[in-house]
Amino acid sequence: MAAYLEKVRTRAYTITDADVEALAAAGCSEDEIFEQTVAVAIGEGLRRLDAGRAAAR
């Protein structure tokens, strides 16, 4: 899942159904995939917001 989450952090626009299907095939539940995806996406969004605010100061 680490490679997938890194992809979410850096290139979320490239995530495909195949990425999610590979996680499911590896034994991850839909809930786990969803929760991890949302947590990483929110964390990265907040990090970028903070960086933008810092740059605007």
Which residues lie closer than 8 Å to 28 by C-beta, 6 or more apart? 1
The parent domain of residue 45 ranges over 2-56
- Predicted TM-score (pTM) of this structure: 0.88
Predicted confidence band of residue 47 (pLDDT cuts 50, 70, 90)? very high
Q: What radius of gyration do the chain's Cα atoms show?
A: 13
Looking at the structure of the chain, the number of domains it has is 1
Look at residue 22 in the predicted model and tell me its pLDDT: 98
Predicted confidence band of residue 54 (pLDDT cuts 50, 70, 90)? very high
Q: For 21-40, what is each residue's pLDDT tens digit?
A: 999 999 999 999 999 999 99
